[in-house]
Amino acid sequence: MTMWAPHAEGTPWSHLDEQNTAALIRQLSYVNENSAFYRVKWQKAGIDVKLVRTLGDLREFPFTEKDELRFDQVTNGGLGSYACASLTETIRIHSSSGTTGRPSFIGVTREDAAIWTESLTRVFTCMGVTEDDVFLHATGLSFFVGGLPVKDAIEGIGAAFVPIGTGASDRLVQANDALGGTVLFCTPSYARYLADYMQQRLGRDARSLGLRRVLLGAEPGGGVRAIREGIEAAFGCHVREAYGNSDLLPAFAATCDAQGGNHLLTPDLLYLEVIDPDSGEVLPWETGVQGELVGTSLRRWSAPLVRFRTRDHVVVNTQPCECGRSGPRILCVGRTDDMLIVSGVNIWPSAIADVVETFVPRVTGALRVIVNGYGPAVPPPLHIRVERAGDIDEQLGDEIALAIRERLQVKAAIELVPMNSIPRSEMKTSLIDRIFPS
């Protein structure tokens, strides 16, 4: 299995310590010099960047929260006071998707763009894209960090990039039939939507597209076994997943042919920690460890981030992989914000999706967990809206509630709704709908 950058992907992390320490020291001093946001933040915390000698010294630094960045951009305008590069040095501006309120903007310098391309090239090579592929790109091209940067990487690999974008299922099918598409890149919810759409509107099986691979990104789901297997069955081909973060790097982890989680592919570009989301304590990179992923840029010039909390909750796997990549693998099990606590039991919406998926074809797989307010604590029963695929089925709700009770130890109240009544999105979709008292 080909590696794009064996010097980073195939090298034990400890062998990179020396070069990464130098990169970190250079990055921190650049940030301290150019980012008013970080200079003030670190002064308040009593941090002197000149004293940093090792990667471990990073633990003294305060975390950066997404809300702080958002607030900073709103207050200071433009790319915010955390950004280091001027607009003169900036060659492209993206914005992050799927959050409420004002979008946050993400600037890229020429050097950043090259690093993004390098990282995405490793990711798509890991997922098996080669120069022989006809690559159907069916996510947003405007603003989205999985748009134009992916184009650059795919062109670099030498595959034929077909920019289909979103909301164009008919054109996707036409282009595929005419060009012989081999690889489809989209979100898990769009892959499922497309399979349903083809069946209902075109009377065609998605297997007739003749794809070699479906590559998923931009939202969780590809890591949920039942969802992945459902897409594999619908398209009759392998499914691989890319993982990233629009503020840190568009994608920096991916599944190889051996599966087992997403390999972390950019230890030389991004320094990662796993922390206990409650205490902030740094956890070891050991198999079975679970926590929130925190990232620090090592080579970023527009908007480097230091100890940025991704809010993604991951499970670590450090077992050696047959593909030869040496970095740990992670499985993203959900957003820290999305974790619910029902009668003391931690529940991830992705785990609920896994159970509901076992009821396909009686359900479509689309669902929402309805939660009152912000809190992770939810009084039982957990309100879950599930789309049925066919006629009214008296037993179905009870059966799903029983399965959730048995597998997740949580009492659920299932509300069955007609097919296509839960909105499908081609971009990020949360499985939680929060209701706030007006």
Q: Among residues 140, 363, 126, 334, which one has the least CA distance to residue 219?
A: 334
Q: Cα–Cα distance between 257 and 130 in angstroms, integer? A: 14
- Judged by beta carbon, residue 266 or residue 429, the one nearer Zn ion is 266
* String marking each residue 211-250 x if it binds Zn ion according to CB under 5 A: ----------------------------------------
Strands in 217-289 per DSSP E: 238-245, 249-254, 262-264, 270-275, 282-283
Span of 233-241, 314-322, 338-346, 365-373 interacting with Zn ion by CB under 5 A: 314-322
- Judged by beta carbon, residue 127 or residue 275, the one nearer Zn ion is 127
- Judged by beta carbon, residue 176 or residue 262, the one nearer Zn ion is 262
Structural contact between residues 335 and 313, judged by C-beta atoms closer than 8 angstroms: yes
Least gap, CB of 316 to Zn ion (angstroms) = 15
Q: Cα–Cα distance between 328 and 321 in angstroms, integer? A: 9
Span of 148-156, 179-187, 317-325, 331-339 interacting with Zn ion by CB under 5 A: 317-325
- Judged by beta carbon, residue 263 or residue 335, the one nearer Zn ion is 263
What's the CA angle centered on 206, arms 164 and 132, to 5 degrees? 55
Q: Which of residues 331-360 bind Zn ion (CB under 5 A)?
A: none
Span of 179-187, 256-264, 351-359, 380-388 interacting with Zn ion by CB under 5 A: 256-264
The two structure tokens encoding residue 176: 């595929």
- Judged by beta carbon, residue 300 or residue 325, the one nearer Zn ion is 325
Span of 13-21, 128-136, 164-172, 252-260 interacting with Zn ion by CB under 5 A: 252-260
- Judged by beta carbon, residue 137 or residue 213, the one nearer Zn ion is 213
Span of 44-52, 233-241, 315-323, 402-410 interacting with Zn ion by CB under 5 A: 315-323
**Total binding residues toward Zn ion, as defined by CB under 5 A:** 5
What does DSSP assign to residue 206?
Answer: G
**What does DSSP say about strands 282-283 and 290-297: parallel, antiparallel, or unpaired?**
unpaired
Least gap, CB of 324 to Zn ion (angstroms) = 7
The sign of the dihedral angle between the CA atoms of 275, 278, 280, 284 is negative
Least gap, CB of 261 to Zn ion (angstroms) = 9
Span of 18-26, 45-53, 316-324, 375-383 interacting with Zn ion by CB under 5 A: 316-324
Q: Cα–Cα distance between 416 and 432 in angstroms, integer? A: 16
Token match 């398209």: residue? Answer: 235
Q: Among residues 117, 57, 37, which one has the least CA distance to residue 303?
A: 37
Span of 43-51, 161-169, 251-259, 376-384 interacting with Zn ion by CB under 5 A: 251-259
- Judged by beta carbon, residue 256 or residue 400, the one nearer Zn ion is 256
Q: Cα–Cα distance between 98 and 427 in angstroms, integer? A: 7
Exposed, middle or buried, 178 (CB in 10 Å: 0-12/13-18/19+)? Answer: exposed
Least gap, CB of 225 to Zn ion (angstroms) = 17
Least gap, CB of 10 to Zn ion (angstroms) = 10
Determine which residue in the list 106, 218, 323, 342 makes contact with Zn ion, applying CB under 5 A.
323
3-state class of 243 per DSSP?
Answer: strand
Q: Cα–Cα distance between 80 and 68 in angstroms, integer? A: 10
Determine which residue in the list 157, 195, 256, 386 makes contact with Zn ion, applying CB under 5 A.
256
Least gap, CB of 318 to Zn ion (angstroms) = 12
258 in contact with Zn ion (CB under 5 A): yes
Least gap, CB of 6 to Zn ion (angstroms) = 13
Least gap, CB of 328 to Zn ion (angstroms) = 11
Structural contact between residues 264 and 13, judged by C-beta atoms closer than 8 angstroms: no
What's the CA angle centered on 21, arms 15 and 23, to 5 degrees? 110
- Judged by beta carbon, residue 288 or residue 320, the one nearer Zn ion is 320
Q: Among residues 412, 418, 421, 366, which one has the least CA distance to residue 393?
A: 418
The two structure tokens encoding residue 265: 């592919």
Q: Cα–Cα distance between 282 and 140 in angstroms, integer? A: 35
403 in contact with Zn ion (CB under 5 A): no
259 in contact with Zn ion (CB under 5 A): no
The two structure tokens encoding residue 121: 């090239």
Least gap, CB of 331 to Zn ion (angstroms) = 13
Determine which residue in the list 234, 316, 321, 367 makes contact with Zn ion, applying CB under 5 A.
321
**Which residues on adjacent β-strands are paired with residue 27?**
none
- Judged by beta carbon, residue 256 or residue 412, the one nearer Zn ion is 256
Query: What DSSP assignment string belongs to 95-112?
Result: E--S-SSSPPEEEEEHHH
- Judged by beta carbon, residue 3 or residue 366, the one nearer Zn ion is 3
- Judged by beta carbon, residue 25 or residue 258, the one nearer Zn ion is 258
3-state class of 192 per DSSP?
Answer: helix
The contact set with Zn ion (CB under 5 A) reads: 256, 258, 321, 323, 325
